[in-house]
Copies of this chain bind each other. A is one copy, B any other.
Amino acid sequence: MPTPNTRLVTFLEHCRSRIDTELECRLAMSGNSSERLQQAMRYSVLGGGKRIRPALCMAAAAAVGQSPGSATVPACTLELIHAYSLIHDDLPAMDDDELRRGRATTHIAFDEATAILAGDALQAMAFGWLAEAPGLDDQIRLAMIRELASASGHLGMVGGQAIDLESVGKSLTIDQLETMHRHKTGALIAASVRIGALTAPEVGEEQLAALTIYSQTLGLAFQVQDDLLDIEGDTTVIGKPQGSDLARSKPTYPSLLGTAGARDYLSQLLDSALSSLEGFGKEGDILRDMAGYVVARTH
């Protein structure tokens, strides 16, 4: 498998550092709220993570000719939504996971009520930050809010989680599996790219459409690779018990297509993602690198 090249490593490191600093600063403790709640929010958001969504957001800003840094705050809001969704997905009533990124999930480290509330507060925070994201026109802020609301609500991420829960123990067709993932993980990944592109006041419909195809394809690739890692990775690297999807009989790409079939599909998705970027010059290079990285990652 190819290792991410130096350009991408530098970019990812730059994004992660910038995002972590911004999140740390903005999530400073306030005397005017519950200390335990705020600690749970910080625990969930600042507990590491690859910051792939923020990086995609900043890479998309670069692809449309903006400075990646101009997307810093919008990129942070994607991480807030991602963190909140992980907290809630891990709850006993949902996936009932005790381990995430190699450490206790939020409801284990704190308690269930605090975990639910921390997720709720992070969601509100994301929209609040977008509404005052620095350096962006009002029109752009609103377009980003619409994008985030749509991607994270019942027609997006939350809808996908509901479909996922309903499908446990059922046999799904590949189309049904794809529909679930397009909602559950794909919508927020697509929003990450589109929100990054929206930093350009004059981003064209054609560019936005191409980036949408790129991001949707990438989102599926991300999921196929996740499924493959679940059966092939080991707990210390992927941060959750290996085979955990299989154990709760969740349908996956390898279970429907076989491991070799899932690998082939992943490779097709990578090709499609790269094709969709044909209209972009070297500004799109980081997005190209990101696609290669997503399918090659080992955790």
Contact = CB atoms under 8 A, between A and B. Distances in A.
Interface stretch (A134-142, A197-205, A226-234): A134-142
Given A41-B154, A91-B116, A93-B113, A36 B123 contact: no
A93 B119 CA distance: 14
Contacts of A183: 33
A116 B145 contact: no
Given A131-B145, A139-B138, A149-B131, A124 B158 contact: yes
Contact of A116 (B36, B88, B128): B88
A149 B120 contact: no
Given A36-B166, A142-B138, A93 B121 contact: no
Contacts of A155: 30, 32-33
A72 interface: no
A212 interface: no
Interface in A106-143: 111-114, 116-117, 119-121, 123-125, 127-128, 130-132, 138-139, 141-142
B166 A150 contact: no
Contacts of A158: 37, 117, 120-121, 124
A163 interface: yes
Interface residues of A, number: 52
A146 interface: yes
A127 B149 contact: yes
Given A120-B88, A159-B33, A125 B149 contact: yes
B116 A116 contact: yes
Contacts of A162: 33-34, 36-37, 113-114, 117
Contacts of A38: 154
Interface string A29-57: 01011101110010000000000000000
A45 to B, nearest CB: 12
Given A91-B113, A125-B153, A127-B148, 9 more contacts: A36-B166, A93-B116, A94-B113, A116-B116, A117-B165, A123-B124, A124-B148, A127-B127, A142-B142
Interface of A: 30, 32-34, 36-38, 41, 84, 88, 91, 93-94, 111-114, 116-117, 119-121, 123-125, 127-128, 130-132, 138-139, 141-142, 145-146, 148-150, 152-156, 158-159, 161-163, 165-166, 183
25 contacts: A30-B155, A33-B163, A34-B159, A34-B162, A36-B166, A37-B158, A38-B154, A84-B120, A91-B116, A94-B113, A94-B116, A117-B161, A120-B120, A120-B123, A121-B154, A123-B124, A124-B148, A125-B149, A125-B153, A127-B148, A128-B146, A128-B150, A130-B145, A131-B145, A145-B145
